Structure 1
Amino acid sequence: MGTPDIIEAAAQAWMASVGAIAEAVPGGQRTEREPGLALLATGAPLAAVNGVFDVRAAPRVAGIGDLAKRAAEAVDAPWCIQYRTGPDAEIAGVAADHGLTSTARSPFMVRQLGERTPAGGPLPAGLTVRALGAGDSAVFVSALAAGFEAPVETMSPLGCPEMLALPCATGYLAELDGDVVGTGLALRAEDCVGVFNISVLPARRRQGLGAAVTGAILRAEQDRGARVAYLHASDMGLSLYESLGFRTVEQWTRHTR
């Protein structure tokens, strides 16, 4: 698989995985206008997980505009318009019509998984990273909220039992000497895996735990059959993911309020 094919597969996997969550969570919605273009809403009060998403290599303003009208009427949460290219003047105009006047770029990173590309070293002494199921929703949401320093109600849709019960989703909990220190979430589609919600509790940061947790998740997902991993990186996490072999292949654009 060449690099353009890997990028395309990862982008489509992102759409499929987030779409599965939008369908599963209570009150969520998924409306696919055409392949690669959809209105997805989880209901969480976070614009990045609600709105109009276009993962086609060349976004088209007409379809985005139609779904933006629907989002404005049907999404009762902050929402966005997001697409894979640099800022587009016509799409920005559609976004502005709905009050989405803030524009940001989000690095989309990928890496291949395989025996010749190990994902980090062994876990530090005392650190365990375990997979969770639907019955672990409460502890997962609590850890998410602590790691992202956000209210529990904000993170609840992103760790609800319905989401953790999805065959494509696995939540991960990191514990150091028995104490919860971090989280992660893997979303699978075909042979691609998306890495989401990597968090470390504030008191445990700058100890290499974020890299250790991410590496453990990548190894576990490779054992499940994943051959490509992808993620969106924050500015704070960019160097961490680069150290694990990820590289930025695109800068996605997001319009929000």
Structure 2
Amino acid sequence: MSNIAVDLHEARENDPSTQRAVTAFTSAMRILWSAFPDGAWRDSADLVRYDTEQPTPRFNGVVVLGPEADEESASQWLDALAGRGLPYCILSRPSAPEWVAGLASRHHLDRVEHEPFMIHSSPAEVVVPQGTVISRVDPEDAGEVALAQQLFADGFEGPVEVLGSLMTAEVLRLPEMEAYVGRADGQPCTTGFGTLTDGHVGVFNIATPPAYRTRGHGHAITAAVMAAGAAAGAHTAYLQASEMGYPIYERMGFRAVELWPSYYPAE
């Protein structure tokens, strides 16, 4: 997020609405990780340790959620991941303790990204634009599951064998998880993923392959995820924005409430 200005709206330390959204986010991730056959998700005070056995840094590491996080526990977990040959990262909230940057440096996580955590307080008011035909992915339809996985991989320009693990039939059978595919003129053009926990709808995996970008498909699939969540009882939506997606989400009414310093291996 180094190339655009992020406007932090109503950002306050220990803001209750932000804390509730972050709690919903960690709840959703805990449920999602339960669908990984070899995955692990371990909570302790202000610290999450997780892995998926997948060879991409974002899928393994630690999340430092607050000042009570234990440095030794985080370091031991990263050492264990390194010993197993898994790449990893550190995600951290702004309230994380000062040792996080030093831990990242010792583990050669030298690429720092500041990832906006964004909230929308009225998902039911978001209008799904016409023009992109959006359907929910049936987890029992192997073809639609594979299509969503491929769109996700193409949109993020990564290997479907790795990225597709976030949108398997096993994941989509979880009652809190749903995926969607969008089509334009009958052609698949975008995908998105929603989670429903604690009255919040999480918006994830919004991905549009390069050939279909700048046509409003990302906006449409995001709105559809929010609308489905609101129909199921969600009063708030949240997401973590990429540099590409941030302007779209801001125009839709999301506000950035925190910037999360996140540490990755140098490319």
Please give the TM-score of this superposition, normalised by the length of structure 2. Answer: 0.85
Count of aligned pairs between the two proteins = 250
Counterpart of 1:191 in structure 2 is 199
Q: 2:66, 2:226 → 1: CA distance?
A: 26
Q: Is the 8 A contact 2:179 2:194 kept in 1?
A: yes
Counterpart of 1:123 in structure 2 is 129
Counterpart of 1:27 in structure 2 is 38
Runs of 4+ in 1 over 6 A off after TM superposition: none
Percent of pairs with identical residues? 30
SS of the aligned residue for 1:39 comes to strand
SS of the aligned residue for 1:24 comes to coil
Cα RMSD over matched residues?
Answer: 2.2
Q: 1:22, 1:248 → 2: CA distance?
A: 26
> Which of 133, 137, 140 is the matching residue for 1:132?
137
Please give the TM-score of this superposition, normalised by the length of structure 1. Answer: 0.88
> Which of 98, 112, 123 is the matching residue for 1:103?
112
Residue 261 (structure 2) pairs with residue 253 (structure 1):
yes
Residue 20 (structure 2) pairs with residue 15 (structure 1):
no
What are the ranges of 5 or more consecutive residues in structure 2 without an aligned counterpart? Answer: 1-10
Residue 55 (structure 2) pairs with residue 49 (structure 1):
no
Counterpart of 2:8 in structure 1 is none
Instruction: Within 5 Å, give how 1:151-230 maps onto structure 2.
Output: 151-230=159-238
Q: Is the 8 A contact 2:69 2:96 kept in 1?
A: no
Instruction: Within 5 Å, give how 1:44-123 maps onto structure 2.
Output: 44-56=54-66, 59-74=69-84, 76-85=85-94, 89-113=98-122, 118-119=125-126, 121-123=127-129
Amino acid paired to 1:186: G
Q: 1:133, 1:72 → 2: CA distance?
A: 37
TM superposition shift of 1:62? 4.1
Q: Is the 8 A contact 1:72 1:98 kept in 2?
A: no
What are the ranges of 5 or more consecutive residues in structure 1 without an aligned counterpart? Answer: none
Amino acid paired to 2:92: Y
TM superposition shift of 1:232? 0.7
